[in-house]
A and B are shown apart, each in its own frame.
Chain A
């Protein structure tokens, strides 16, 4: 259909434009703080996409920050104590987080619904407590200071404007991966499992393995993103990734919408700068933030990214004669 082709081309053009704006963003930014915010947004996008992949298969991970914390410590320690290049440390962080998720998931994903949420939550808490307790390795509550910056082909990414393009590339790669995953047969099985696990199982899909794999992939991404952010901030402590970070990733996912790969982008774009914009209102900051969340949940429960689809459905539904006759008007 031609209209569909045109629609596709339009969407493709919009994506190219958005990527261009994102690449050129530091040039427009009035000061370094905006670049910093952009970098944080890119890292947030990776976290939220990881969470989105897990939720695509029908599970809610309230321990997402725990995997980020593990990843952060792994990469920080490998690069400081073992002298690994930071980039290799980031990869190792992803693998370690994924391995833990696979082992944990194999056991706990047999639990349904609220039990998985509780165990995942406990994992996040335990990760924080371990980081506090194993002070001879992790530095305890003081954390680890002076983590080396990332370097790419001998070029150090220590400054904010240097790190931003790398963070953006990582975020876009994750986004592309997520998009392809959702379109793949495996992604379809994930969505089917979330919607009706019993029926999917009796369509020949090992739904337990499907959920474990989704949990492994999502948590692995969280581990890598956690490591990246540690090399960016050059610092990690048990407070870097707590339960509240898990909550904030979940909030971004819900506000943006979890139906497609682009929902998290919207959620991150809205919620990363929001607290900064509200900072001027001082005491009202948290109240307004909360009000925005409640309004979103009330009026766009499927997320902000569902608005265009809803509008187009309404637009398509209005033309043509109204066939339904309201009760009482019939003669």
Chain B
């Protein structure tokens, strides 16, 4: 069953067409990679799917329903979460409070909760602790987020998104800025999360090894258009992809 269907997606900024006619599907349980050179429109595609930007044309269907143009907060409550490129978190809150705030998507404000917040908080912290545990952050629960190492901050970003119990998690360059060990560690964690929680994932990434390692299928964007789609092995061998990344061979020697 396809969980996400992107159809003829187009996004224009003024006169600039950032993304044109992008269509792909994500199957339940799949880990899809979205790659492309700088400025290819990967993040724009992400922002349109997650509701941060409205599509100029085309549609996005999630779990069989049209979600194009819905505000970001409602898309998240339907089970489509995303992380951000930079370490986006609540720097002055503790790690556990950061993760608790990730659970908002799955709890309501409610009068009973408001008058007696103790039970709501206990339940939310319980959920949050489980997520922190998966990402190896539970020992840092009492520390302020700004005091974490950069690698830990990136993992906390993933934890916040996971705390919302998404069906589909979109990761925007999760290993950018990490050293090779940290990147490998995060890739391991993501694989475990996917197996344990049965979460479908889309990964935007520059780091080729991570993409080839994790993804079962890859979509390649260049200058806002889709130039290839296939398994990692097919993508590596695809002449159009090689041209997009390395340039065309013009020396007809």
Contacts and interface: CB of A to CB of B under 8 A. Distances in A.
Contact of A184 (B82, B92, B102, B113): B113
Contacts of B74: 204, 206
A189 B104 contact: yes
25 contacts: A180-B114, A185-B104, A185-B108, A185-B113, A185-B117, A186-B114, A188-B101, A195-B90, A195-B91, A196-B88, A196-B89, A199-B84, A199-B89, A200-B104, A201-B72, A202-B50, A202-B72, A202-B161, A203-B76, A203-B103, A203-B104, A203-B163, A204-B74, A204-B76, A205-B104
A9 interface: no
Interface residues of B: mostly helix, strand, loop or mixed? Answer: helix
B81 A200 contact: no
B73 A199 contact: no
Nearest to B77: A204
A198 B84 contact: yes
B105 interface: yes
A189 B103 CA distance: 11
Given A180-B115, A205-B104, A189 B76 contact: no
Interface in A151-184: 180-181, 183-184
B208 interface: no
Contacts of B93: 195
B164 A203 contact: yes
A149 B29 CA distance: 69
Interface of B: 50, 52, 71-74, 76-77, 81-82, 84, 88-93, 100-110, 113-115, 117, 120, 160-161, 163-164
Contacts of B107: 185
Contacts of A184: 109, 113-115, 117
Which residue, B71, B88, B90, has most C-beta atoms of chain A within 10 A?
B90
A207 interface: yes
Contacts of A181: 114
Q: Among the interface residues B81, B84, B117, which one has the most CB atoms of the partner chain A within 10 A?
A: B117
A206 B71 contact: yes
Interface in A263-320: none
A192 interface: yes
B88 A199 contact: yes
Contacts of A196: 88-90
